[in-house]
Amino acid sequence: MKLWEKYHLARTADEALALLSNYSGEAQIVAGGTDLLIDLQQPEKAHQRPKALIDVTCAADMNTIQLEDGIFTVGAAVTHAAVVKSALLERYATCLVESCGVVGGPQVRNVGTLGGNVAHALPAGDGTTSLVALDAQALVGWGDGRREWLPITALFKGAGVSALDSHRDLLIAFRFNACKAGEGCAFKRIMRPQGVALPILGCAVWIALESDNETIRDARICLAPVSQTPTRAADTEAALRGQPANAETIERAVAVAHKTLHPRTSKYRATGEYRREMIGTLLRGALPRAFERAATGQAKAEGVGA
Ligand SMILES: Cc1cc2nc3c(=O)[nH]c(=O)nc-3n(C[C@H](O)[C@H](O)[C@H](O)COP(=O)(O)OP(=O)(O)OC[C@H]3O[C@@H](n4cnc5c(N)ncnc54)[C@H](O)[C@@H]3O)c2cc1C
């Protein structure tokens, strides 16, 4: 079974875009291939197979992790393993390291990329969940020649449906603020213990404390999947703002989350009722970690695989 005719290795984002343009929609971007190669092998998708694959894993300008003036820029072709190894990301964007550190097993993390995680547009990509809580922006090279930064949430149009057409458009990089003094973040996920399965629920939180180190100034939360696209839990965030960073506040936020978020029953994940209960478990796990990181400035990623 031939899955493609030509395979190109792009050395830069511009070269990848030029190759896409030359094929006028008949080529497709491949990064780690951990999602795409499974898709290409589906017999029912045989008619959608591209003529050529454009591999971006060696595109130098899509492979860097930079921290400049308090802003991280992370290339879309950076692997989950590279995120996990970054001491800077662990210190200043801990939730991203915790989420990339639980993706698949070591083989998947070694080749799977942050860009592939976002471009695939599943409602519960682990890297994606943390990027949403970090309020990340994505740099897109559109097929018509425009380049623009846009909020990451603007890329998601439905479950598995992206605003990007990976036959024409390229996700080049992400940017987000590093955690400053008084800010902290955390990610936790609940998964069936056996084998490879879909996550039951994931949760990334970002917290900013007032200078008293005790009052929550701002909060961002992404619980996923609770809808077709990764989205912020706005009502739960509102229940935290202006409140003391303690267990009572967390319980009030859990009550709001239970009232406003409605995870579905999924035969691949769990019943809606169970998943709803797990919202509380995740918030009670992630929020205290983020409070502590914000208050102490100490951040050591937890639960990260080898
Ligand atoms: C065994 C296994 C376990 C997994 N476990 C997890 C898990 O625990 N958590 C999780 O979140 N995911 C998991 N995944 C899914 C997958 O590994 C991740 O989503 C990974 O980040 C995908 O990245 P990739 O580089 O392999 O993407 P690819 O497979 O190369 O590409 C995926 C899609 O994105 C497009 N694309 C890729 N890069 C770009 C770009 N820069 N610009 C435009 N389009 C692009 C491709 O054309 C394709 O449509 C698992 C997969 C497997 C096989």
Query: Hunting for tokens 């393993």 — which residue is that?
Result: 81
**The pTM is what?**
0.97
The answer on 201 and 290 residing in a single domain is yes
SS3 for 60-80 is HHHCCEEEECCEEEEECCCEH
Give the pLDDT of residue 168: 98
**Quick one: tokens of 74?**
């992370």
**In angstroms, what is the span from residue 118 Cα to ligand 1's centroid?**
8
Give the pLDDT of residue 147: 97
Q: Are 78 and 93 in contact (CB under 8 A)?
A: no
Peptide bond into 225 cis (omega under 30): yes
Round the CA-based radius of gyration of the chain to a whole number and report it.
Answer: 19
- Look at residues 177, 199, 216 and tell me which one is the last residue of a structural domain: 177
User: Residue 83: which pLDDT band, with cuts at 50, 70 and 90?
Assistant: very high
> Of 293, 259, 295, nearest to 276 (Cα)?
259
- Look at residues 177, 207, 229 and tell me which one is the last residue of a structural domain: 177
Lowest mean pLDDT, pick from 159-163, 183-187, 233-237, 300-304: 300-304
- Best residue for ligand 1 mutational test, from 3, 23, 30 (most atoms within 8 Å of Cβ): 30
Domain count, the chain: 2
The answer on 148 and 195 residing in a single domain is no
pLDDT in tens, 137-171: 999 999 999 999 999 999 999 999 999 999 999 99
**In angstroms, what is the span from residue 190 Cα to ligand 1's centroid?**
20
Mean pLDDT of all residues belonging to the chain = 95
Residue 298 in 3-state DSSP?
coil
**Cα separation values, 12 from 8, 58, 138, 166, 279, Å:** 12, 8, 17, 16, 41
Residue 21 in domain: no
Residue 13 in domain: no
The answer on 206 and 236 residing in a single domain is yes
Domain encompassing residue 123: 64-163+173-177
Q: Which helix (H) or strand (E) holds 108?
A: helix 106-111
Query: Hunting for tokens 């995120």 — which residue is that?
Result: 83
Residue 98 in domain: yes
Measured torsion, CA atoms of residues 243, 244, 247, 251, in degrees rounded to the nearest 10: -10
> Of 6, 10, 45, 42, nearest to 26 (Cα)?
6
Distance from C-alpha of 117 to C-alpha of 126, rounded to nearest angstrom: 8
The answer on 198 and 289 residing in a single domain is yes
**In angstroms, what is the span from residue 275 Cα to ligand 1's centroid?**
24
- Best residue for ligand 1 mutational test, from 38, 103, 200 (most atoms within 8 Å of Cβ): 103
pLDDT in tens, 41-59: 998 888 889 999 999 999 9
Mean pLDDT value across residues 25-52: 93
Nearest CA to ligand 1 atom 15: 35
**In angstroms, what is the span from residue 210 Cα to ligand 1's centroid?**
38
Give the pLDDT of residue 304: 86
Query: Hunting for tokens 């990610």 — which residue is that?
Result: 187
36 within ligand 1 shell (Cβ under 6 A): yes
User: Residue 288: which pLDDT band, with cuts at 50, 70 and 90?
Assistant: very high
The answer on 206 and 130 residing in a single domain is no
Q: Domain of 126: which CATH number?
A: 3.30.465.10
55 within ligand 1 shell (Cβ under 6 A): no
Mean pLDDT value across residues 118-141: 96
Lowest mean pLDDT, pick from 15-29, 120-134, 192-206, 250-264: 192-206
